[in-house]
């Protein structure tokens, strides 16, 4: 059996605001420089992507994605300092959790 821990951050009421999906969206925004292109790569609508971004921003109380209005070449998007910190912290914690899954379970999951 292959097991994986899934990390999701929630607000005080237990409402999730950041998990693997938002982390992937943020990573793709960094890679593509565009919310639209990031959403397309994930097969998400543009409005759904912005809903995810706004939910995260409401929960952390800070702007996570900076929108830069375009001119001749079009606009772009990038993560704010808070968005970058949230993404890198999340990915680091997720990696550490996966790294220690075997240690935590004592090999039990492989026996199933």
Segments of 1-112 assigned E as strands: 9-10, 16-18, 65-71, 74-79
pLDDT at 96 over 80: yes
Q: Which of the four pLDDT bands, split at 50, 70 and 90, describes residue 1?
A: low
- Helix, strand, coil percentages in the chain from 3-state DSSP, rounded to 5: 55, 15, 30
Q: What is the pLDDT of residues 4-31, one digit of tens each?
A: 678 999 999 999 999 999 999 999 999 9
Which CATH code fits 18-111? 1.10.10.10
Q: What is the pLDDT of residues 30-87, one digit of tens each?
A: 999 999 999 999 999 999 999 999 999 999 999 999 998 876 667 899 999 999 999 9
**Domain residue spans in the chain?**
18-111
What are the backbone angles phi and psi of residue 36, rounded to the nearest 5°?
-60, -45
pTM of the shown model: 0.86
Residue 110's pLDDT is 60
């Amino acid at each position: 059996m292959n097991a994986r821990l899934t990390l999701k951050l929630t607000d005080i009421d237990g409402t999730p605001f950041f998990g693997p999906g938002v982390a992937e969206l943020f990573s793709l925004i960094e890679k593509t420089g565009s919310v639209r292109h990031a959403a397309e790569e994930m097969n998400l609508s543009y409005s759904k992507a912005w809903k995810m971004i706004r939910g995260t921003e409401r929960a952390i109380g800070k702007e996570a994605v900076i929108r830069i209005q375009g001119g001749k070449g079009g606009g772009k998007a990038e993560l704010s300092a808070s968005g970058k910190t949230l993404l890198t912290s999340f990915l680091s914690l997720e990696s550490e959790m996966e790294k220690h899954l075997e240690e935590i379970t004592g090999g039990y999951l492989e026996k199933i």
